[in-house]
């Protein structure tokens, strides 16, 4: 598997089904996946974004 510290991906897509499918696939191969529905929303959030944990 990949080293989490070096293989982190931010997925930004307004379609939840697309976000979830891509996050699931990348998580399976070892990436740490961070998801957001909107780039502007992600920048304005003060709390951490959702992280995919499905494998």
pLDDT value at position 46?
47
Token reading at 43: 């920048």
> CA neighbours within 13 Å on the CB side: how many for 7?
12
Question: What is the SS3 assignment for 5?
Answer: helix
Which residue carries 């697309």 as its tokens?
18
Number of domains in the chain: 1
Contacts of 47 (CB under 8 A, 6+ apart): none
Domain carrying residue 43: 4-51
pLDDT at 48 over 60: no
pLDDT value at position 17?
96
Which residue carries 């998580």 as its tokens?
27
Lowest mean pLDDT among 2-11, 32-41, 43-52: 43-52
What's the predicted TM-score (pTM) here?
0.63
pLDDT (tens digit per residue) in 1-34: 555 457 899 999 999 999 999 999 999 999 999 9
């Amino acid at each position: 598997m990949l080293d989490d510290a070096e293989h982190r991906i931010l997925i930004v897509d307004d379609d939840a089904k697309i976000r979830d499918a891509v996050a699931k696939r990348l998580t399976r191969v070892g990436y740490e996946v961070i998801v957001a529905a909107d780039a502007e929303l992600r920048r304005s959030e003060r709390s951490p974004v959702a992280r995919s944990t499905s494998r």
